Amino acid sequence: MPSSAGANRRRQGRTKVVLPVRVRGTDAAGASFEELAHTLDLTPAGTRLGAIRRQLKTLDRITILYHQRRMEFTIMWTRPLAGNSEYQVGLQALSQEREPWGISLANSGARAAITTSAVSGVA
């Protein structure tokens, strides 16, 4: 099955983190958009987003704004969620920064600090 093959190719572990983000880009219909969404998990090389309310195309680029950070990503996959008009989107970062989200993903102890600091909202 194609969707399970992607999980087998993952090179890095994911850290479950929900952070509010602002997403900018062009949707599958070619319309520019900006909307609020949230991360579901993070890796040093990418993220998975939830609450995307429009269809996006793979290999397109989008911009994520989180606090004072602006990060560019390539859309690697999209998946519609059953029963509503939301999508999950898998993204790969265009540049490899040491701590692109302002947190260290190297240790799992960061999860508790991430969850409490994430409540502050999107800049």
Ordered mean pLDDT values, 10 residues apiece, the chain (123 residues): 46 86 97 98 94 97 95 97 92 88 66 43 50
Residue 18 maps to which CATH number? 2.40.10.220
Residue 82, domain member (yes or no): yes
Distances, alpha carbon 6 to alpha carbons 9, 10, 76, 77, 110, in Å: 5, 7, 10, 9, 26
Q: In the prediction, which pLDDT does 115 show?
A: 45
Half-sphere exposure of 112 (CA within 13 A, CB side): 1
Q: Is residue 84 part of a domain?
A: yes
Residue with tokens 């994520």: 64
Write out the residue range of the structural domain in which residue 64 sits.
13-112
- β-partners of residue 39 are 49
Question: DSSP state, 5?
Answer: H
